[in-house]
Amino acid sequence: MNFAHNIAYFNPMFSDNSFYPGIRDNMPQPYLRVLHAFFQNEILPKIDNKNYRESILHKSLLSLVSCKPANLIADQKVPHIDSCDERDYAFVHYLSPEELGGTSIYKYIPKNIIEFKQEHKPLLADIVNEVKKAPDEHQGYLSGSTSLFEQVFKVDAKFNRLVIYQGNLLHSANIFSEQSCLADAKKGRLSIASFASVR
């Protein structure tokens, strides 16, 4: 927490070439080493029906939601995927309390899809366009089911909880309140987002 509160230099929204609705900084290498060792030794052997032998941790980003709902662009109002490859994994390490929101997995109702593969990649632009056609339902952050998206699984935030899931699952942060959008590492929705691949 010392790094987050006193050392991190948060870069502006979009500077990491993602649609994350806030500010970010790279985590120090010691954090990446510990996380990678945990994933390699404790999680990788437990992935069902797979014979994966190695993993690569690509990056870990200290992440603070800062964008107010009224300022979101359409791409930030939809659940997203991090990859179309089931061998890619996403991690969320929550550093704020439950009331600031966890993470949910969604189904894209028109196509009945939760897990995206390469053949589904063209649908991503369609999803954003469909949201633009339903502005009344998608005025800000997604925080539950709509006519386009069904919330199929929800993980509550808890301080120091680590959640790991396949990056090709349609997902979104649960952001309910104005406090979740405070650009203050001591009061806002702070987490660490990490990304890994297995082979």
**Residue 176 has what pLDDT?**
87
Average pLDDT over the chain reads 94
Residue with tokens 């949201």: 131
Rounded CA separation 46/102 (Å)? 24
pTM: 0.93
Per the structure, how many domains does the chain have? Answer: 1
CA 20 to chain centre: 8
Paired sense of beta strands 162-166 and 88-94, if any: antiparallel
Buried/exposed code over 143-181 (b: 16+ C-beta within 10 A; e: otherwise): beebebbbbeeebebeeeebbebbbbbbbbbbbeeebbb
pLDDT in tens, 143-169: 899 999 999 999 999 999 999 999 999
pLDDT in tens, 7-41: 777 899 999 999 999 999 999 999 999 999 999 99
Rounded CA separation 110/1 (Å)? 42
Rounded CA separation 128/157 (Å)? 26
Containing domain of residue 18, as a range?
Answer: 2-198
Rounded CA separation 18/128 (Å)? 15
pLDDT in tens, 96-116: 989 999 999 999 999 999 999
> What CATH number does residue 155 fall under?
2.60.120
